[in-house]
Amino acid sequence: MASGESPVKLDPWCQSLPEPLAQEVLQAPERHVLFLDIETEGLSKERNGLTVLGTMVGRCYRAFVAGHNLEEGPAYLARFPVWVTFGGARFDLPFLRAHFPRLPQPALHIDLWRVFRDLGYRGGLKKLEERFGLSRRTRGFTGYDAVKLWQRWRRQRDRRALRLLLFYNREDVANLRPLLEIAAVKLCGEEPLG
């Protein structure tokens, strides 16, 4: 910040973050913010397996896939102080912790589902994407489709199914960034990131 320039004014939600971290979240997420989404074999963290951990830092997507490199995921997550999810407090993080008990705790976890709920918006990720005009090529796909794609990959080694599953996951993760930007505008009066 240039000398004499006033700091960004933050509303109470943003003020609850440590000031340097709030500035990073709002102004430079590509350096410290990891967006993540998981795919699973079902909804039970006790009975179902974790199939894909998809992450995005800046514009770089990285997937950790069961039977390939999934075990490397926790060490990668540990490199980033801020994690952004959609519904992650109820699903992604408990699921990850059930499979990786030593999963590190981020300095800050932003669950966009909660943020948008507090703003008065209802619905899941796909509904919010549609509401805010965010596009995706896998429109109409659901988490259940992701389960079926994984089953096709696992049983038949159908590479097309795995590619489509990873593409679906990538779109889920990629749309978290613009949703964070929209939330920042609505909560803090900031300009969109990027």
Going along the chain from its start, the domains and CATH numbers come out as 17-188 (3.30.420.10)
pTM of the model: 0.81
**Other Cβ atoms closer than 10 A to 8:** 16
The burial class, CB within 10 Å (0-12 / 13-18 / 19+), for 190 is: buried
Q: Rounded distance, CA 166 to CA 148, Å?
A: 13
Q: What is the pLDDT along the chain (194 residues), one digit of tens a residue?
A: 333 333 333 344 454 454 554 555 555 446 788 999 999 998 888 888 999 999 999 889 999 999 999 999 999 999 998 899 999 999 999 999 999 999 999 988 999 999 898 888 988 898 999 889 898 888 788 889 999 999 999 999 999 999 999 999 999 999 999 998 888 877 765 544 44
What does DSSP assign to residue 54? E
